[in-house]
Amino acid sequence: MLREQIMKFTKIMFVGVADRDLAKLAPALSRHYDVHCFGSGDEAVNTLTKQNRVTRENVRLIICEQNLRNMVGSDFLERSVAMVPQARRILLVDYPQLDMEEIHRAQLFRFITKPYAVESLISSVKTALGEMGKLQPPLLCDREIVGQDPHFLEILKQVHWVSDSRIPVLVRGETGTGKDLITRALHCTGPGKYKPYVVVDCCALLEKFFEVEMFGYKKGAFKGAYRDHKGWVAQAEGGTLFLDEVAEIPMPVQAKLLRFLQSGEYRPLGSNRIEMADVRIAAVTNRDLEKKIEAGTFRKDLYYRLKVLEVELPPLRERRSDIRLLIEAFVKKYWSRPGSPVLTGRALKVLEAYDYPGNIRELENIVQRACLLARSKEIGLDALPSDMVLKAREKILTEPALFSPEHTAFPHLDKEALKKARLDACTQAGNRVEREFLQRLMAHFVTISAAAAHAGMPGAHLHSLLAKHGLTARGIRNA
């Protein structure tokens, strides 16, 4: 439902498209997008001129005929660049002959030669909207943020308190802790929630391209610069610029970013004019910025400018009370079969015991996998990764106090549920006794064969028991 609400804020404009084609295209797209049809380029221009700025910024795609009444389609698209610079543009032509300069002026995403298959054009629409790349649709709300951990709730309060301001925010934490979710929440609860949310992957570009992509360039600034290009800062006007892995920004660009943070001013490459932009900077990293400062690869003054508000997200192992809530949310998201799924007591206990080095992202992947592999509505241990089950069982055995009887799951209040709970309890108790026995046995004998003979079992069986509990034969010679 939330995804449908977000998509409905994505507007598609059809300009001059033949009625017979609209009859096929518009119904298929209007189920998911806000579709507007115009008979001529003049009509579309007048509408865009009259619309307020917020409405125009929701336009994400324009599909236009080349042969319009009183206007050429590529000329209309060129005029639309100033009014809706964030939109992708698809031109429908009768012949595949377009001048490259014409393509650059109209900033075409794609031109399609007629006749075309409806399915092909719909695929192009989905590709265009999916490849908006770094420019996301306006967000009212993204995914629901799940959590009741007191420390995590305090972080959400801080985000709420500063959402109305434009101060920079630095979000730190391990990979998979939800740093991007926090920055999206900051964006979609603030005054710029209807403005662009521009994502910059600071690891993705070479240093020589970083500056021109960040601040843009003017036509003729270098060979191949056939037109003006808006950088990420200009694209994010009024909204949020999300710097993913900010620690990887090259040092020369760090100085210019610092200047922009201090004054809101920047200069596109090849321009003699200073530009201004009203942009909130939200930076995230999982790196130790203090160490990078000591190593001379990150500017200290930029660090302090970014961390006006610093948010440190806890790893999932430090908010175990939220694991069950997250499991329920992910099961609801990924379960696609009829009926309501049920996690067995063993599976739930293993999921709660695991440490999740990949944090929430790893938990989501594990639950998604379990929903696909479960043989019935009951999700058991066989649907979980075997290495994860072994590590979680080891933790349950070594730290039994963390997992009290109140964690036992009773999906059904009947005889079978009681039988399963008893079996789980017996298995756990037996494993603890078995482990303690092996530890004492290993401490009293210097060879595997002697230990096995004393215990009245074959040496191979003793080896398998040691492996089962993750114990090594340290101090015992294999004789």
Per-residue pLDDT reduced to its tens digit, 45-60: 888 887 665 567 678 8
Mean pLDDT value across the chain: 79
Q: Which fold has domain 317-411?
A: Helicase, Ruva Protein; domain 3 (1.10.8)
pLDDT category of residue 243 using cuts at 50, 70 and 90: very high
- Other CB atoms within a 10 A radius of the CB of residue 458 amount to 12
pLDDT of 422 reads: 67
> Do 2-132 and 317-411 agree at the fold level?
no
Nearest to 235 by CA among 345, 158, 136, 167: 136
Q: From the options 3.40.50.2300, 3.40.50.970, 3.40.830.10, 3.30.310.160, give the CATH code of 2-132.
A: 3.40.50.2300
Say if residue 277's pLDDT is above 60. yes
DSSP letter string, 231-299: -HHHHTTTSEEEEETGGGS-HHHHHHHHHHHHHSEE--BT-SS-EE---EEEEEESS-HHHHHHTTSS-
Q: From the options 2.40.30.110, 3.40.50.2000, 1.10.357.10, 3.40.50.300, give the CATH code of 150-314.
A: 3.40.50.300
pLDDT of 167 reads: 85
Query: Quick one: tokens of 61?
Result: 């795609």
Lowest pLDDT segment from 57-71, 147-161, 295-309, 433-447: 433-447
- Predicted TM-score (pTM) of the model is 0.55
Asked if residue 115 has a cis previous peptide bond (ω within 30° of 0), the answer is: yes
Pick the more confident residue, 456 or 331: 331
For 109-143, the pLDDT digits (tens) are: 777 777 777 777 777 787 777 644 333 333 334 45
**Which burial class, exposed, middle or buried, applies to 50 when counting CB atoms under 10 A from its CB (0-12, 13-18, 19+)?**
exposed
- How far apart are alpha carbons 354 and 320 in whole angstroms? 10
For the chain, the structural domain boundaries read 2-132, 150-314, 317-411, 415-479
Say if residue 5's pLDDT is above 50. no
